[in-house]
Structure 1
Amino acid sequence: MGAEREALKAWVVEALARNGGEAHLLVVARDIWAHHEQELRGAGDLFFSWQYDMRWACTALREKGIVLPANKSGIWTLADRGSAP
């Protein structure tokens, strides 16, 4: 079973939570790969675009107030860091 583009939103939130509520986008990408490699490999075209789509997912999460506005350093931060482990 492959991954869907929409799943990336949850995966971004999960990756940020696993990294204390904030992480550089490269750390998020590595975390998603570490936890969802098989799903990505079975995702058809998403396998070739998932890192771009991960950025799209983060933008959608920002619009919903789940992730804070981007900063120039590439650090993504959950708005509610209290829910991060």
Structure 2
Amino acid sequence: MATKHDLRDWTIEALKSLGGSGSVVETCRLIWQVHEPDLRASGDLFYTWQYDVRWAAQTLRDEGVLVSAGRERRAPWTLA
């Protein structure tokens, strides 16, 4: 069963597939395309994963894995 921790790994995986940077929508679309069965089998995470993936991205920013978005809410997610 997928967990919130998996969302961190899947976000990195999706961004690498997108060439290192992508919008929230592009990133989530790719996560869904690759991990739909995992998400469907993940219990409550299935209903919250798009919210939780944003928190995963913030954690990745805090750790320096993603570039800080600064004040720009619509900035693409970019691997550092």
- Aligned counterpart, 1:6: 5
Stretches of 4+ moved more than 2 A in 1? 71-74
TM-score (norm 1): 0.88
- Aligned counterpart, 1:83: none
Aligned-CA RMSD value: 0.8
Give per-residue Cα distances to partners, 1:18-71, cap 9 Å, x unaligned.
000000000000000000000000000000000000000000000100000113
What is the 5 A alignment of 1:1-85?
2-70=1-69, 71-79=72-80
CA separation in 2, counterparts of 1:25 and 1:74? 9
Identity, in percent, stands at 44
Letter in 1 for 2:73: K
CA separation in 1, counterparts of 2:74 and 2:55? 17
Gaps of 5+ in 1: 80-85
CA separation in 2, counterparts of 1:39 and 1:50? 11
The number of residues matched between the two structures is 78
Gaps of 5+ in 2: none
TM-score (norm 2): 0.93
